[in-house]
Amino acid sequence: MKLYLLRHAEAVEHGDPRYQEVERPLTPKGIQRTKLLAHGLRRMEMSFDAILSSPLARARETAEIVARGLRRQGNKPALTDHLSPSGSMEKLVRELNGIRPVPQSVLLVGHEPYLSGFISLLCTGGPGLALAFKKGALCRLDVDLPSCGKCATLEWLLPPRLFGSKPPKRSSNK
């Protein structure tokens, strides 16, 4: 299985009195960068059999923008508390193993430091892998069978700036 992990895009600052922590939305810059990411993924002809997201607004919005950008047929991302900052990695592994039919590619959208910890668990069996997982970064793991131990290989970790350029304008030649 190809397991993709996406940290939510830039959100309104922590502590902003207008929002409770779980309701902090993406900023306009975060929305734009996520649209560019989705455009880049579509150009690379990437698709996901399942998209799971933390229910917190900033992650959910990121997942929804990617799903729309990939023109995912009517399927909204599934929300799971196991991707929230206080989620259970063990329960997330069980949820991944319960997806039927068995997926070839899954996108997980969540938060730091949870995602780095999850990557470390799958790649090394413990918490020792140091990663710089910026907002909007995308990681791909090759996973044999998800388990709470060493079961994955880190294939790549792309910083958000790789998707930061605007897509080329389409010519209107007729």
Domains of the chain, by residue range, sit at 2-163
DSSP 123: H
The confidence score (pLDDT) of residue 165 equals 54
Residues of the chain where predicted confidence (pLDDT) is lower than 70: 72-75, 164-174
Residue ranges with strand state E in the chain: 2-7, 50-53, 78-79, 105-110, 138-143, 152-158
> Phi and psi for 118 in degrees, rounded to 5?
-70, -45
The confidence score (pLDDT) of residue 72 equals 66
The confidence score (pLDDT) of residue 174 equals 43
| CATH code of the domain made up of 2-163 | 3.40.50.1240
Strand partners, 106: 3, 50
- pTM for the whole thing? 0.92
